[in-house]
Amino acid sequence: MKINKVISPLIILMIATGLVLWLYKTSEIDGLHKFIAGGFKGMVCGEDNKEKNNKDNNDNKGKIVSYGDKLSDSNLGVRKKINKNYLDFEGRDENISEIFADIKDEYEEFKNINDDLFGIVDIEGMDFNYPVMMSKTPNYYLNHDLFKNYSLFGCPYMGEGYSLINNNIVIYGHCINKDKMFGKLLSLKNKSVLDRLKRICLYSDGKLFEYEVVALLSINVDITDYRYWEIKDFKDEEAFAEYVDGIIENGIYVSEEKLKYGNYLMLSTCDNELGGGYRIVLVGRMLENGL
């Protein structure tokens, strides 16, 4: 009896310890401990998002909720593909580029699922291919997936008020961890990884826009004066010069010779390695007007 009395608390302690370790591990996943997101204001990080999540959880009681590996069985075939390639929960196949060989068909397939689809962003030289949404409701896709189900993973989306006619557009995406979604941008801090990138492609409404990589930025949005998320157009040469100065000032890596006047694309996510208000921003300059 005494042995049983000793063993029982030990078992309980072991179970409790295992649970704590499991919770710590899953804290790397967006929305459980660090709700890591891209951008500023448009996407909220850490404790700042707790109140909003609590409200959304209450609002979504009784609704289908997507956590990446749990999708309802309607459109099951398409959902399995999305689950593997978009949510990327189980990791991508090494030959994933074959799945996205025809980006036009992919766009049309996603567009049939959700008319809010703006385009598809793909980075040549790394495993990075995701739908990009645009909603009339600000930040809707911060916590909704392609199927408009509530999701802690959200879906990459265009910043509010941006369009392809702007000189600068910003796309936000969650940083779940370094192997998932926009968290993959953190690997670009390694110069050898960044150097392997060929270009950023953005497909939208029948046109393919290509951008050469010109910079990787690290910005603390809590203290910076460089409010890149508010920049849409360069009204004059001075405005463009200020845009370039901000890139150079905040750049981890910058190809200054490529910073010429034109249209730019920024992919923004939280830097959960540094935490706080830090963002990683990949910057590309458009090569073509559309193919």
- Burial of 87 from C-beta contacts in 10 A (0-12 / 13-18 / 19+): buried
Q: Which of 144, 174, 175, 201 is catalytic?
A: 174
CA 45/CA 50 separation, integer angstroms: 9
Is 174 an active-site residue? yes
Closest CA to 152 of 75, 229, 69, 72: 69
Could you tell me if 156 and 170 are in contact, meaning their C-beta atoms sit under 8 angstroms apart?
Answer: no
Strand duo 175-177 + 180-181: pairing: antiparallel
HEC-encoded secondary structure of 149-175: CEECCCCCEECCCCCCCCCEEEEECCE
Q: What does the block give as tokens for 172?
A: 């936000």
Cα(34)–Cα(14) distance, integer angstroms: 26
d(CA 130, CA 101): 13
Query: Could you tell me if 264 and 217 are in contact, meaning their C-beta atoms sit under 8 angstroms apart?
Result: no
Exposed / middle / buried, residue 290 (Cβ in 10 Å: 0-12, 13-18, 19+)? middle
Give the up-direction half-sphere exposure of residue 130: CA atoms within 13 A in the CB hemisphere.
Answer: 26
Active site residue 270: yes
Partners of 285 in the β-ladder: 212, 264
Catalytically active residues are: 174, 270
